[in-house]
Amino acid sequence: MAAPSDLNIDRIAELSRLALTAEEKVRFSAQLGSVLGHIEQLSKVDVTGIEPTAHAFPLHNIWAADIARPGLAVADALRNAPAQRENMIVVPKVME
Amino acid sequence: MNYEAVIGLEVHVQIKTHSKVFTRVGAGYGHEPNTLTDPVVLALPGTLPVMNKAALDAIIKAGLLLGCEIAPVCKWDRKQYFYPDSPKNYQISQYDQPICIGGSVEIELPGAARNIMGEHKKIPLARIHLEEDVGKLNHHAADSLVDYNRAGTPLMEIVSDPAMHTAEEAYAYLTSIRHTMIYGGISDCDMEKGQLRCDANISIRPVGETKLGTKVELKNLNSISFVRDGIAHEIKRQLAVVAAGGKLIQETRDYDGQTGTSQSLRSKEMAHDYRYFPDPDLMPVQVDAAWKEKLRAECPELPFDKQRRFLRDYQVPYTITSVLIPERGLSDFFEASAQLAGPGRAQAVGNWIANDFLRELSAAKLPLGASKITPASLAELVGLVEAGTLLNTAAKEVFVAMFATGEAPAAVVARLGLAAVPSDAGELETWCRDSIAANPKALAEFKAGKDGAINAFKGPVMKAGKGKANPKLVDETLRRLLAGA
């Protein structure tokens, strides 16, 4: 399936922090196109009068009491960090 | 052309809970980096969030205090973005169904003088929603260090309508939110600890225009005075740009309170595209009337309502109430003491608290709760002074001793021999007679109608009484004797 004309693959790549090659752009545009096509089909269903729901089950108010319990040891918390310093995770310099 | 500024504030308030909002690892400030994490905080695969009931109670209470409508049903959404402060690459927040809708914040603007109450007005709110706080980044020259202790702390975002017009209003608004949240026990609102944070949306438009101008978002207003200074600075900057024929651009600016300047932040994305969608891991929350009413019953009197009541019921001056009201514990202490002291003595109680008590607490670096002075002992001290048993100067000494030892005022008076003398009226009368006899010139003047001449007799009497004679009694006795002389 061809990509819809309003699909901006460059913008999506930027939001996803992905550097795509020209070939990948074509390939992923087509793949995303078929996903969007599927959603398009869903959009055609008449939902007039049906209340929007946030969840498939009619469950509400699932919670726990505010009782703190111990968490991870620092060494465990940092185990997956590619780099660490002063018990913190090192990331490239970023500015928000 | 005349311009007006339009200001809307987004205020983030951390909710004071024991554990985080969607997992039960402890929440808090000042811990060693990355010691308050668990698999949910770090978004390890397979983990699921579980709502903290206390955080819901707190935000509903905040909504009730600010007159919001509490939504019968609300849900949580994922706000997607890439930034290392959020390990999940999304923040759980509320998008189109916030838990609190509308409401308002009562503010007080500065009065004409410090002892005059300023104008009050109500700033309408758009909404309050519950979300999770994010981790903290420490920026260094070459990289940034991430601490996830703060990530997942329950956070309320209180969004005002663009309804303020001056930096003073914004300052008053933030102050009022702070007092209200502290009264409600919802947050300690310590800005230095990041428990209260504020971003401002500021634009200007010609007076009379109803459309909003180009909006600038001002970030990093991390103290209450920076909020006032930063907004005042931004309004001036925008007016200058327009006056010079320039055009304002929509941007985010960072305010530096140390230098009093702001600079544009590089924008990573043209416009944010957060791709919100309902978080399938969290169930919606339904708030019924019984839950709401239970929380309403726990809501304290609002600070401004309490101030109006103090002014009306205790007849204390406005300046005293403005010292007492911001701290709930202090105002409760005042009220308890004023009631024990009895009618007509509330102002004296207020004066003792606003002057001596606060001075001693601050010198001793003690919180109110650790004080040895109680509402009852202060009321007793005021009673001794009012009855004339204790003079003001001696009372100050008694107060300092009470503060240090926790003794009852009567015990301090007895121990230090500070009671006003003479208790025996005969001795005082003798001193007065002697003083009058020793000064015929003043006696003649007084008889000739010069009322002030009476003061000439008082010095020797006070000296004879070693400064402990009750001036009121001295005056009365002298007048009685002079009338018969």
Domain limits, chain B? 3-291, 301-407, 425-484
pLDDT in tens, B386-433: 887 888 888 999 999 999 999 999 888 888 877 766 556 677 888 888
**Model pLDDT, residue B283:** 94
The answer to whether the CB of B286 falls within 8 A of the CB of A60 is yes
Sheet of B277-278, strand order? B90-93, B77-80, B277-278
* DSSP conformational letter for B25: B
Q: Indicate if the pLDDT at residue B287 is higher than 50.
A: yes
- Where is average pLDDT lowest: B40-44, B77-81, B175-179, B257-261? B257-261
List, in sequence order, every residue forming a beta bridge with B286; answer none if it has no partner: B73
Q: Is residue A59 a part of any domain in this protein?
A: no
Of A15, A60, A77, which has the smallest distance from its Cβ to B34's Cβ?
Answer: A77
B346-363 average pLDDT score = 96
pLDDT in tens, B232-267: 999 999 999 999 999 999 899 999 988 989 998 865
**Model pLDDT, residue B429:** 84
Q: Indicate if the pLDDT at residue B110 is higher than 60.
A: yes
**Model pLDDT, residue B381:** 94
Give residues with Cβ within 8 angstroms of B266, minimum separation 6. Answer: A95
Q: Indicate if the pLDDT at residue B272 is higher than 80.
A: no
User: Could you tell me the CA-to-CA distances from A60 to B64, B72, B288, B333, B354 in Å, in that order?
Assistant: 21, 11, 12, 42, 49
Global pTM reads 0.85
**Model pLDDT, residue B421:** 61
> Given an 8 Å threshold on Cβ–Cβ distance, is A66 in contact with B54?
yes
> Given an 8 Å threshold on Cβ–Cβ distance, is A62 in contact with B283?
yes
How many separate domains does chain A show?
1
Q: Is residue A21 a part of any domain in this protein?
A: yes
Residue B422: HSE in the Cβ half-sphere, 13 Å Cα cutoff: 14
User: Is B26 touching A (CB cutoff 8 A)?
Assistant: yes
Q: Is residue A22 a part of any domain in this protein?
A: yes
DSSP A6-43: T--HHHHHHHTT----HHHHHHHHHHHHHHHHHHHHHH
Please tell me the CATH code under which domain B425-484 is placed: 1.10.10.410
CB atoms within 10 A of CB B314: 21
Q: Is residue A96 a part of any domain in this protein?
A: no
> Given an 8 Å threshold on Cβ–Cβ distance, is B25 in contact with A68?
yes
Q: Name the residue type at position B125.
A: L
Q: Is residue A64 a part of any domain in this protein?
A: no
> SS3 helix, strand, coil % of chain B, rounded to 5?
40, 20, 40
**Model pLDDT, residue B93:** 97
Give the mean pLDDT of chain B: 92
SS3 B203: strand
Determine the structural domain holding residue A7 and report its residue range: 1-45
